Amino acid sequence: MEKRKLGKSQNATSLLGFGCMRLPLKNDGTIDQAEAFKLFDLAYQGGVNYYDTAYPYHRGQSEEVLGNWLQTIDRTSVLVATKSPVWLLTTPEDFDLYLQKQLTKLQTNYIDYYLLHALDKERFEKLVELGVFAKLEDAKRNGLIRHVGFSFHDTYDVFEKILTYHPWDFCQIQLNYMDTDYQAGLTGLRLAESLGICVTVMEPVKGGSLAKVSDEIKKLFDSMDPLASPASFALRYVASQSNVQTVLSGMSDRSQVEDNLKTFADFKPMDEHDINKMLQAADLMRQKIQVPCTACRYCMPCPYGIDIPSNFSHYNDAFIYGEVAKSKQRYMEWMDASERASACVSCQACVSKCPQHILIPDCLVEVARLFEGD
């Protein structure tokens, strides 16, 4: 397993990281700890030394299960990453409170990589107001945290503001061959590199959506390596980018672990020819886009609170990846009712603002019909 030591990092981290958000479950929905241990062991034996969890994963069970597994190995042989539940912080002292809870659940006296979880503009501004960044540095000076970072979900301009606000050791962004211009994207990756801040990548297979591809794209992939899985191409694309220290994969079963270990055991970065083929695959997927929204957000804010770009993103994903049920779940769970397409009153305020000349209210009707129709 290739190890990388980039930027300010004091550690050589495995190129493949184990994401603990999608662990195997029992029938009652709780984590199957015995099976999770088998997956952790298999990854560990294959050279994986980076294990990423968070306070809310699996309703709080993920940190506990990972902490139990840490007792079965040499703690110093692995790197543990977890995240502060920043949405629960109401006072500066809350930061310390939740950090201590996480140390207890993980059964460790230090965390190698500690992130402020899922930062966006609103959460970042709240943390600045609370004085959380001073608490973060105190915890690092006291040895409770060894590297400080953040995970990110917002637009590029917000990413730039956050990245340049604090002397981060690392950051975590969503990146895959379909999302090169989404959120921080490749531009954010390059900015972090210029500042000496290494990057951990999440969603390299886009929540599993890139693990299944059309016959046309499969033929394209087969021309590069007929024995490799679609997921492996997605992982290799991200790992071939400079300044990527670790690529996270949420592994749920033995076959996923084995396939990922195969991809990274003797990792071969993609050359320019292969990168171009990955971009061809992305173009083939984008041909299925139903609404030509570029998420420029010129239509925002909507007078009635509708998140127009997010509605179109979920709608397009349903067609691009052929997973209507998954897109509907995200639409219903990730958006408030007031933000959904069904709340549109067709006031037409957005239409003249759209540089793509999209008839937005008409398209929102189709979004609501797909996700909320009988």
The string of pLDDT tens digits covering residues 39-48 is 999 999 999 9
The string of pLDDT tens digits covering residues 314-373 is 999 899 888 899 999 999 999 999 999 999 999 999 999 887 889 999 999 999 999 998
Q: For the domain bounded by 3-280, which CATH number is listed?
A: 3.20.20.100
Question: How far is Cα 94 from Cα 103, in angstroms, rounded to an integer?
Answer: 14
What is the model's pLDDT at position 227?
Answer: 93
Write down the domain spans for the chain.
Answer: 3-280, 308-372
pTM above 0.75, yes or no: yes
Question: How far is Cα 357 from Cα 163, in angstroms, rounded to an integer?
Answer: 34
> pLDDT-based confidence at 67, cuts 50/70/90?
very high
What is the model's pLDDT at position 68?
Answer: 98
What is the model's pLDDT at position 374?
Answer: 67
What is the model's pLDDT at position 367?
Answer: 96
pLDDT at 182 over 90: no
What is the model's pLDDT at position 371?
Answer: 96
Top-ranked range on mean pLDDT: pick from 2-6, 211-215, 233-237 = 233-237
Please state, for a pLDDT cut of 90, what percent of the chain lies above it.
86
What is the model's pLDDT at position 176?
Answer: 94
